[in-house]
Amino acid sequence: MKRTKHSQRRIWIIALLILVFSLNSTLATHAQTKQVPTAGIAINGKLVDGIQPVMIDGKMYLPFVPLSKILGYNSSQYNPKNATFQLTDGSTMLRAAVGGSIARKSNEYIHIDPLRWYNKKAHITLPAASSLFNVFMYYKADNGSIQVQKPAQQYIVQKGDTLFEIARSHHTSVYNLKSTNNLKSNMIQIGQRLQIPPRSKMKETEPIREKAPVPHKYNTSISSVRTNIINEAKKYLGAGYKFGATLAEAPRLFDCSSYTQLVFKQNGISIPRTSRDQASKGTNVKTLEQGDLLFFTNNDLYSDGRVGHVGIYMADGSMIHASSSKGVTITKNVLSNPYWGKNYLFAKRVIQ
């Protein structure tokens, strides 16, 4: 009797799987698709690459992984078990699933048009890509190009968005968002174009409040660990820089956070891969000590004031870091430096 029930259950499961597969196949078959000529991609008016768009049910989609690499998200992983992509540019970790309408940007959740399969590749709409990658992207019909404004100064409202969520993801307030767009109420419409508030009204604050403990394995004094961190960091002086460098490219190439992660790992301290996730660890400090992590924004890449760079504080007031212009280098008197001082956000202590 038990065997009969078990067999019946298996038959029902197989039948259900066949039905689901058939429905998916039917949906894929009935999707209206149309090839679009290869389009050039221009970032801030400069042609940088080409890409193959496709029209699906009247919407333009771009191949997801090639687009992410063009935009600097050089490290990408795909998990076939849940059809989820994980990408990073060194500052932020992005996660998006095929068919999912909510994506994750570091510790924030955002609404996007779901990714769709086409020719065995994931594709994304221009508004969804704009929201996910912190750019403003649109199709320029007169020359058939994809124009990218980076960093974004505009935002297209996605299905499910609220003013609170949009303001939070751009590290500003609902008041500033409404004021910038002359909104009289909290009502917004899908596809509505919003102007992002001025940079002066946005600043990363959330990671300061977070005090997550940092796993470590060292059996020596804290002062010795601090000294060892700096000594380890100096070993890589002169190494090259690559935006979104993968850990496999170390120690030949780094971005800012893969560099700090490796240096701390070599001293038994485990910190996350990206600068914004690193900023959520440890304790916020005002008085700096050797080995503290310094965090900065990057106006050239991010319009939302988020953490965009990390370096290691040295005892003499300098910072050792992987710089986009010089590779691994030392910047003296970092907080008095005209560039770094202006973009400094906060410091976190992970050696405790």
Whole-number mean pLDDT of the chain? 86
Residue-wise pLDDT tens digits, 262-317: 999 999 999 998 898 899 899 999 999 999 999 998 877 776 778 889 999 998 99
Could you confirm whether 256 is annotated as catalytic? yes
Fold of the domain built from segment(s) 206-349:
endopeptidase fold (from Nostoc punctiforme) (3.90.1720)
Pairing label, strands 319-323, 307-313: antiparallel
129-181: per-residue pLDDT in tens? 999 998 899 999 999 999 999 888 899 999 899 998 888 878 788 998 999 99
Residues 69-126 have pLDDT tens digits of 999 887 889 999 999 999 988 778 899 999 999 999 877 889 999 999 999 999 999 9
Would you list the domain boundaries of the chain? Answer: 34-152, 206-349
309 is catalytic: yes
Same fold, 34-152 and 206-349: no
171 catalytically annotated: no
Mean pLDDT, range 198-202, rounded to an integer: 71
Strands 108-111 and 344-349: unpaired
Give the pLDDT score at 24: 43
Three-state secondary structure string covering 290-314: CCCEEEEECCCCCCCCCEEEEEEEC
CATH of domain 34-152: 3.30.457.10
- Looking at residue 228, the DSSP 8-state letter turns out to be H
Catalytic residue among 111, 123, 171, 256: 256
Weakest-pLDDT range from 241-245, 263-267, 331-335:
241-245
